[in-house]
Amino acid sequence: MLDDLLGRTELKERIAELEAERERLRAQLDAEQERRSEAARKRQDAEERINRLEDRIADLEGKLDGDSGEAVEVGFRHESAVRGRRLEAVLSQLESFEAGAESVLTAYVDESAPEEVRDLLGERAALVSRAAPCLVCADDAGLLAAALRPPVAPEPFVTWGDRPEVDRAWLAPTGRFALALVRSDVFAVGVYEGDERVDFEGFASDVKSDHSKGGFSQARFERLRDEQIAAHVDRCTETLADVDADRLYVTGDRRLVGEVAADADATAAVDATGDPEPALADAFDEFWTVRLYGL
């Protein structure tokens, strides 16, 4: 009542309105400053990218001006097969590599190098086509330039970031998966958690060898052998249907792998021979061996 008489109520309401307006304007100002900061960051990133591209253009123009017309032969800086601890070390090095924003290219190339890879690597892009199918990791400063042939191929892609974008499941045993070996008379399948086998099943079938024709005619021998192999493949397929794993990789004889691998996540022809269990161990090592190329 006293406030009403003294005119304070109206003043208090006006003060509240002004304070609300002040907070609204302050929030608007903060948002505008944040927007300008983000715009400045993007502009700076774009300028850095332009500078890198201009340097690359100047480098290529210099090579063009100095070209004598003779073909320049390029070769891999190094080439090796890595697995186990050595593969782990290579992947750790890739994962630790870091550079500026949008300065590291990662690409999966199934045949010929795409335009972005050619622009970045210049004449050395021909090596990518030679290594394909392969995973390419390179930066625009020339500090990193490598290709790896992954056992589990992703879909072709090209991406830029501040580090290589590599999924370990493409290159090394991770998570829960099954790996099978299928040959004309031998089958083995293991379920793995990473590189540790937690389950196994294998068998050898009675399939006539090329040296056991005996008194059979050639045609009858080949027919009987084909029937035995077909029965063996059916048994392999039935066994694989009962395997409990997140992913399935099938290795072995190239022709037979195609018959049993309809649902496989990856396949590979391997030379593993012998009894089922040691042959599977050899197939596992061969499948998870990665070809590494220095570009």
pLDDT digits (tens, 9 = 90+) for 134-170: 999 999 999 999 999 999 999 999 999 999 999 999 9
Give 276's pLDDT tier (boundaries 50, 70, 90).
Answer: very high
User: Does residue 72 belong to any structural domain of this protein?
Assistant: no
User: Does residue 71 belong to any structural domain of this protein?
Assistant: no
CA dihedral sign of residues 252, 255, 260, 263? positive
Contacts of 238 by beta carbon, 8 Å cutoff, 6+ apart: none
User: Does residue 293 belong to any structural domain of this protein?
Assistant: no
Q: In this structure, are 282 and 184 located in the same domain?
A: yes
Across the chain, mean pLDDT equals 84
Specify the higher pLDDT residue, 64 or 288. 288
The pLDDT of residue 295: 95
Q: Which residue is associated with the tokens 């304007």?
A: 25
Residue 81 Rama label (left phi>0; alpha psi -120 to 50; beta): beta
The pLDDT of residue 49: 64
User: Does residue 295 belong to any structural domain of this protein?
Assistant: no
For 196, the 3-state DSSP assignment is: strand
Q: In this structure, are 52 and 87 located in the same domain?
A: no
Of the candidates 151, 170, 189, which is a domain's last residue?
170
Q: In this structure, are 183 and 165 located in the same domain?
A: no
- Cα within 13 Å of Cα(280), Cβ side: 24
Specify the higher pLDDT residue, 123 or 52. 123
User: Does residue 70 belong to any structural domain of this protein?
Assistant: no
Q: For the chain, how many structural domains are there in total?
A: 3
Q: In this structure, are 151 and 189 located in the same domain?
A: no
Threshold 0.85, pTM exceeds: no
Q: Are 104 and 162 in contact (CB under 8 A)?
A: yes
User: Does residue 265 belong to any structural domain of this protein?
Assistant: yes
The pLDDT of residue 112: 86
User: Does residue 211 belong to any structural domain of this protein?
Assistant: yes
What does the pLDDT look like over 114-139, one tens digit per residue? 999 999 999 999 999 999 999 999 99
Of the candidates 40, 65, 90, which is a domain's last residue?
65
Of the candidates 113, 145, 170, which is a domain's last residue?
170
Range of the domain at 39: 2-65
- H-type alpha helices, the chain: 2-6, 8-65, 84-96, 115-121, 125-131, 218-241, 254-260, 276-287
Specify the higher pLDDT residue, 168 or 2. 168
CA nearest 200: which of 176, 178, 183?
178
Q: Are 124 and 104 in contact (CB under 8 A)?
A: no
Specify the higher pLDDT residue, 4 or 202. 202
Q: Are 250 and 189 in contact (CB under 8 A)?
A: no
Neighbours of 153 (CB within 10 A): 15
CA angle 58, 59, 60 (to 5 degrees): 90
For the residues 212-217, what does the mean pLDDT come to?
A: 56
User: Does residue 73 belong to any structural domain of this protein?
Assistant: no
Q: In this structure, are 283 and 200 located in the same domain?
A: yes
CA nearest 249: which of 209, 286, 295, 220?
286
For the residues 5-21, what does the mean pLDDT come to?
A: 71
Q: In this structure, are 97 and 157 located in the same domain?
A: yes
Buried b (16+ CB within 10 A) or exposed e, 222-239: eeebeebbeebbeebbeb
The pLDDT of residue 53: 63
Q: In this structure, are 221 and 273 located in the same domain?
A: yes
Q: Which of 13-27, 83-97, 132-146 has the lowest mean pLDDT?
A: 13-27
The pLDDT of residue 38: 63
Buried b (16+ CB within 10 A) or exposed e, 99-111: beebbbbbbbbee
Q: In this structure, are 55 and 126 located in the same domain?
A: no
257: CATH: 3.30.420.60
In angstroms, how far is the first alpha carbon of the chain from the final one? 87
Q: In this structure, are 52 and 128 located in the same domain?
A: no
Q: In this structure, are 184 and 240 located in the same domain?
A: yes
Q: In this structure, are 200 and 280 located in the same domain?
A: yes
Q: In this structure, are 57 and 101 located in the same domain?
A: no
